[in-house]
Amino acid sequence: MFVKLCGLRTESDVTVAVDAGADAVGFVLTDSPRRIDVGLARELVVGVPPHVLAVAVVRGITATEAGEMALKTGVRALQLHGDYPKEAFDELADLPLQLVRATALGPETDVRTGAFGEELLLIDSPVAGSGEQWDIARLADNPPTGHWVLAGGLSPETVAGAIGVARPWGVDVSSGIESSRGVKDHGRMREFVAAARG
């Protein structure tokens, strides 16, 4: 089970994520309680070993801006979160970055991983980063294909059950491993990774 811990903001967050066995870590570069600037992201990426995927997470900015920010941080992947069209992914295709398409599940959502040229597809709650649970049983009517990651309302307490229902390739968490909004709880980070793999 691929596990991504998102919204990391400190060196100790990164150390704990890596030690806990996370496959990927996310750094939020645009408007969010978890936002960090490009300079801090670049410093934190230095602490991410090669076997862990460092991901820049953006929403509400152009593909051009997103690509420029990601390249400055040294991450290996860029997550476009929200209603980005296929053209945005086409624009970024030549950059040396893995692309992640993060979207909520709607009636028109294309849930085939790679449909927009992305390497990973992330299906999130309609209110990203809110910690709100959503009806993942809806995925049964339109099951995603390929390397797709389930997000939205997951926590150490709920992740195993969610995996049982949705059968994702991976899982992603941010608010479910926090002690307060934007502040990671290192114990819950470890518990989440263990629960996802248990």
Catalytic center residues: 6, 124
What does each C-alpha distance from 3 to 111, 116, 138, 192 come to in angstroms? 19, 22, 22, 9
The neighbouring-strand residues paired with 180 are 183
* The length of the chain, given as a count of residues: 198
